[in-house]
Amino acid sequence: MYSKEMYELGAHSSVIREIFEYAKKRSAVVGKENIYDFSIGNPNIPAPDIVDETIKKLIDTMPSADLHGYTSAVGDNGTRQAIADYLNKTHGTSFRKENFYMTAGAAASLTITLHALAEEGDEVILIAPFFPEYKVFAEGAGMKVKIVLSDPDTLLPDYDAIEKAINEHTKAIIVNSPNNPSGVVLSEEEIKKLAALLEKKEKENGKPIYLIADEPYRELVYGGAKAPYITKYYRDTVVCYSFSKCLSLPGERIGYILVPDEAENSKEVFTAVCGAGRMLGFVCAPSMYQFVVRDCIGKTADLSIYEKNRDLLVSTVECLGFSCAKPDGAFYLFMKSPEPDAAAFCEMAKKYELLFVPSDSFGFPGYVRIAYCVSHDMIERSIPAFEKLAKEYF
Ligand code: PLP
């Protein structure tokens, strides 16, 4: 009749979406200004002016059939060259346009990459807490998922646990820094540790273990933190990038996959990426936005607002007795639930119209994710609600 597996995915939307829907319904009852919705990672700051200016310029100067027509499946050459030039200038790398495959955002980059790599019996390692869709994407590509918990004190990867999880079936590990949901940014030291471990395991296994670097939050780092460019530390890295967050364009669906020349079987992996994109029916990434990112490369929305939000939220919750790892990047605060059941804590928070996401779906129970890609004003107005919530526990 129909696929039960797909039915299940469609019938049970993500917890995050459920809370987002609840927020809409509740707003209709008590008024939007009285709901403090910290549930969804939808950038609230506008795209920079240069995006709209570029769109106007493109409309005025490009023939419509070029602007809105198909590009080649790998993407527009000028766009791929502009991205390669930008990365080379910024990180001292030596990428060529041929290393890039344009996609409809990070979700497409990940599904295509996983399909391109997966062979029967392959496993992929996810480091919890992780973006819940990874499991859907990896299982959809036919891979078995192995979840490895981060160190509970630091929320950094637990390298011993990763080492134990790797076996002869391990094809890839997904690394997301800056991290959704913890906000943790992996330092150069951490990346070196991970790279050394993976290199050792590759030698033992006699085959590559690909590090899939999921990087939609690359530019969102605060307080001097740096997100090192992972291809410089580990050869077998495939980068899945998106412009959704840095340019505040999540609905426009634009990103890329980067397969560096140094990666084992680079040419074959790139060709498999093309094949996976074809099989999944992507055809080409949205044309107009390929030209937009070509002309706006290196520009970002005003990301300083997130840092301001982070500082206010962290100081508020810490003063009230809650604990959290101070996030160095992305726009999420991962706060320890004061009771073991994070879902029960979220229910309690709802009493004060505070909407958080319990961490169970991120594979790491006992925490809540607070998305601070909201207006600063909303955070200021929510402080009395945080105070009331704290009184329930401390
Ligand atoms: N990866 C992570 C860690 C994310 O948080 C998201 C979206 O929130 C994505 C991938 C998907 O991003 P995109 O909108 O570019 O598909």
User: What pLDDT digit, counting tens, does each position of 266-308 carry?
Assistant: 999 999 999 999 999 999 999 999 999 999 999 999 999 999 9
The answer to whether 207 and 199 have CB atoms below 8 angstroms apart is no
In 320-352, which residue ranges form alpha helices assigned H by DSSP? Answer: 342-350
- What pLDDT is recorded for position 12? 84
pLDDT band of residue 389 (cuts 50, 70, 90) is very high
Element (H, E) at 340: none
Q: What is the C-alpha separation between 43 and 24, in angstroms, rounded?
A: 17
Dist. CA 218 → ligand 1 center (Å): 12
- What pLDDT is recorded for position 20? 83
User: What pLDDT digit, counting tens, does each position of 11-61 carry?
Assistant: 887 788 889 889 989 999 999 999 999 998 889 899 999 999 999 999 999
Edge-to-edge strand ranges of the sheet holding 100-103: 100-103, 255-258, 237-242, 210-214, 170-175, 123-128, 144-149
Q: Which of 131, 238, 253, 332 to mutate to test the pocket of ligand 1 (most atoms within 8 A of CB)?
A: 131
Q: Inter-axis angle of helices 49-61 and 287-296, to 10 degrees?
A: 120
User: What pLDDT digit, counting tens, does each position of 104-133 carry?
Assistant: 999 999 999 999 999 999 999 999 999 999
**Backbone conformation region of residue 148, classed left if phi is above 0, alpha if psi is from -120 to 50, else beta:** beta
| Rounded average pLDDT over 351-360 | 96
| Rounded average pLDDT over 71-87 | 98
CA-to-CA dists, residue 266 to 5, 328, 352, angstroms: 33, 32, 52
- The model carries a pTM of 0.96
Q: Would the CB of 111 count as within 6 Å of ligand 1? A: no
Which residue has tokens 């790998």? 74
Q: What is the C-alpha separation between 328 and 333, in angstroms, rounded?
A: 10
Element (H, E) at 271: helix 266-279
CA-to-CA dists, residue 165 to 159, 169, 173, angstroms: 10, 10, 10
Dist. CA 107 → ligand 1 center (Å): 6
pLDDT band of residue 201 (cuts 50, 70, 90) is very high
Q: What is the C-alpha separation between 194 and 176, in angstroms, rounded?
A: 13
- What pLDDT is recorded for position 17? 81
Q: Would the CB of 180 count as within 6 Å of ligand 1? A: yes
pLDDT at 171 over 90: yes
The 10 Å Cβ neighbour count of residue 208 is 18
Mean pLDDT of the chain: 96
Q: What is the C-alpha separation between 194 and 158, in angstroms, rounded?
A: 10
| Rounded average pLDDT over 376-394 | 97
Q: Would the CB of 178 count as within 6 Å of ligand 1? A: no
Q: Would the CB of 132 count as within 6 Å of ligand 1? A: no
| Rounded average pLDDT over 171-185 | 97
- What pLDDT is recorded for position 42? 87
pLDDT band of residue 228 (cuts 50, 70, 90) is very high
Q: For ligand 1, atom 8, name the residue with the nearest CA.
A: 41
Return the higher-pLDDT residue of 153 and 101. Answer: 101
- What pLDDT is recorded for position 276? 98
- What pLDDT is recorded for position 308? 97
Q: What is the C-alpha separation between 382 and 124, in angstroms, rounded?
A: 40
pLDDT at 218 over 90: yes
- What pLDDT is recorded for position 295? 98
